């Protein structure tokens, strides 16, 4: 092993590696063809699981792509190429889509899997850099990741694995778009962690039932002030006899009335309220609701469901969002 040169410019080396990988991705972008469309359609139409397999670094990439597919609701797992030759091929069925990844396309460990897929008519997508390889020739759909210059001795898998990862991500996101997966769908697969918090909806955070500070529009403000004090939200949701939301009263409005020396005790709630309060659907993301509050300079939102905008089923206060550290 050579000695370390004290004058080695590591930042320069890093930039050279990144430049090589950018060039590799540019080649990959140009190499995309109709087979990519076929691969996406095969994944979307898969009746069972999408199974990925590779050897060495390609096997690690296969695991990552599989995890990404699972995260968007496409059942997927990765297999060890070595284990497949010792019984694990039994987990691959005819309804599955099998994706094999190999730079050379001639890895010995993959030959048994290729033969098994062909023999059992399992749809095989091959990702390789060699068109004349066993993998490409025996795949139902072949995807080429162009031959590229590797960083570090020009033989360490770097640029090539970036391309494998990128085409895997492209397949996953194309599948997501084709299946029309939205934030709510994605949230089902990510209930925990920081990502789960960011995907929380208004329904997850809103106050409901007895916690909603309702007041009839014909009640006197003396009663309204009592309810506002009890609920400690600084807000009242105003309703009519049909339980339709007609307005909102905030502590800010009350302060403004008081500053004008107006006697609130003699007024009805409907004389003080702001009509047509801002409402949001319970299914929008909490981050979107926070954006609305900031834009409108308000601290509370009425919440409705479906098309019934005139009925409030919950109230979302800005503190409900900030306490969860959703920004």
pLDDT of residue 196: 66
Number of domains in the chain: 2
> CA–CA separation, 149 vs 26, rounded Å?
13
What percent of the chain is modeled with pLDDT above 70?
93
Q: What is the pLDDT of residues 50-63, one digit of tens each?
A: 999 999 999 999 99
Reply yes or no on whether the pLDDT at 6 is more than 70. Answer: yes
Same domain, 142 and 265: no
What three-state secondary structure class fits 301?
strand
Domain co-membership, 171 together with 219: no
Looking at the structure, tell me whether residues 154 and 282 fall in a common domain. Answer: no
pLDDT tens column, 63-106: 999 999 998 889 999 998 888 877 788 899 999 999 999 999 99
Tell me whether residue 189 is in a domain. no
Q: What is the CATH number of the domain that holds 276?
A: 3.10.580.10
Q: For residue 4, what pLDDT is reported?
A: 61
d(CA 156, CA 108): 20
Can you tell me the mean pLDDT for 154-158? 90
* Mean pLDDT within 259-273: 85
Which residue in 101, 100, 142 sits closest to 117, CA to CA? 100
Q: The tokens of 265 are what?
A: 């005790």
Q: Which pLDDT band, with edges at 50, 70 and 90, does 195 fall under? A: low
Same domain, residue pair 175 and 254: no
For the stretch 39-54, what's the b/e string if a residue is b when 16 or more beta carbons lie within 10 angstroms of its beta carbon? bbebbeebeebbbbbb
Instruction: Classify residue 28: in a domain, yes or no.
Output: yes
Q: Which of 64-78, 163-177, 179-193, 280-294 has the lowest mean pLDDT?
A: 179-193
Query: Looking at per-residue confidence, does 188 or 236 come out higher?
Result: 236
Residues 217 and 174 in one domain: no
Structure tokens at 79: 């297999």
Distance CA 176, CA 69 (A): 9
Last residue of a domain, one of 120, 148, 181: 181
Full domain range(s) for residue 210: 202-322
Give me the pLDDT at residue 163, please: 97
pLDDT, greater one: 6 or 315? 315
Cα distances from 90 to residues 85, 87, 124, 129, 302, in angstroms, run: 10, 6, 16, 28, 54
pLDDT of residue 257: 80
Ranking 13-17, 108-112, 205-209 by mean pLDDT, the lowest is 108-112
Same-domain status, 151 and 98: yes
Q: Is residue 192 part of a domain?
A: no
| 279 domain-assigned | yes
Q: Give 120-140 pLDDT, tens digit per residue.
A: 999 999 999 999 999 999 999
Residue 61: HSE in the Cβ half-sphere, 13 Å Cα cutoff: 25
Say whether pLDDT at 171 is over 90: yes
The answer to the question of residue 170 being in a domain is: yes
pLDDT of residue 145: 97
Q: How confident is the model at residue 188 (pLDDT cuts 50, 70, 90)?
A: low
Evaluate if residue 280 carries a pLDDT over 70. Answer: yes
Q: Determine if residue 264 is left, alpha or beta; phi over 0 gives left, psi from -120 to 50 gives alpha, anything else beta.
A: alpha
Is residue 190 a part of any domain in this protein?
no
Q: What per-residue confidence (pLDDT) applies to 8?
A: 85
Is 31 in the same domain as 131? yes
pLDDT at residue number 3: 59
Q: What is the mean pLDDT of the chain?
A: 90
Strand partners, 275: 247
Structure tokens at 157: 């898998």
Mean pLDDT (whole number) for 5-27: 92
Cα–Cα dist 81/168, whole Å = 18
| Phi, psi torsion values for 303, nearest 5 degrees | -120, 135
Amino acid 259: pLDDT: 79
Q: How far apart are CA 273 and CA 270, in angstroms?
A: 5
**pTM strictly above 0.85:** no
Round to whole Å and give the CA distance between 87 and 119: 16
Do residue 254 and residue 175 come from a single domain?
no
Distance (Å, rounded) from C-alpha 249 to C-alpha 292?
Answer: 18
- Alpha-carbon gap, residue 212 to 207, rounded angstroms: 6
Strands ordered across the beta sheet of 50-54: 76-80, 50-54, 97-101, 123-128, 141-144
Do residues 29 and 163 share a domain?
A: yes
Q: Is residue 197 part of a domain?
A: no
With beta carbons less than 8 A apart as the criterion, state whether 106 and 134 touch.
Answer: yes
Regarding whether 141 and 222 lie in a shared domain, the answer is no
Q: Residue 113's closest CA among 31, 166, 58, 167?
A: 58
For residue 91, the 8-state DSSP code is: G
CATH number, domain with residue 25:
3.40.50.10490
């Amino acid at each position: 092993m050579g000695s370390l040169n004290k004058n080695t410019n590591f930042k320069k080396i890093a930039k050279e590696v990144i430049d090589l990988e950018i060039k590799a991705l540019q080649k990959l972008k140009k190499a995309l063809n109709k087979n990519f469309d076929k691969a996406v359609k095969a994944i979307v139409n898969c009746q069972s699981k999408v199974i990925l397999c590779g050897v060495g670094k390609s096997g690690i990439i296969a695991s990552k792509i599989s995890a990404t597919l699972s995260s968007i609701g496409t059942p997927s797992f990765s297999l060890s190429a070595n284990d497949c030759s010792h019984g694990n091929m039994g987990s691959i069925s005819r309804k599955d889509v099998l994706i094999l990844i190999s730079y050379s396309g001639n890895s010995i460990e993959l030959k048994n899997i290729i033969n098994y897929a062909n023999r059992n008519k399992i749809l095989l997508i091959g990702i390789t850099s060699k068109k004349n390889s066993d993998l490409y020739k025996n795949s139902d759909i072949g995807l080429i990741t162009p031959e590229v210059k590797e960083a570090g001795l020009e033989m360490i898998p770097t640029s090539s694995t970036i391309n494998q990862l990128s085409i895997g991500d492209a397949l996953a996101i194309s599948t997501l778009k084709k299946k029309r997966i939205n934030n709510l769908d994605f949230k089902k697969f990510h209930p925990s962690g920081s990502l789960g918090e960011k995907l929380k909806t208004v329904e997850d955070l809103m106050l409901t039932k007895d916690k909603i500070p309702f007041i009839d529009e014909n009640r006197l403000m003396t009663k309204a002030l009592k309810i506002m004090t009890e609920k400690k939200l600084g807000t009242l949701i105003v309703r009519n006899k049909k339980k339709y939301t007609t307005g909102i009263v905030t502590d800010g409005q009350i302060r403004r009335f008081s500053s004008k020396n107006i006697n609130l005790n003699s007024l009805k709630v409907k004389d003080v309220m702001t009509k047509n309060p801002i409402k949001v659907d319970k299914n929008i993301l909490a981050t979107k609701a926070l954006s609305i509050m900031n834009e409108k300079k308000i601290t509370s939102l009425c919440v409705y469901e479906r098309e019934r905008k005139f009925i409030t089923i919950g109230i979302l206060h800005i503190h409900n969002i900030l306490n969860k550290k959703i920004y």
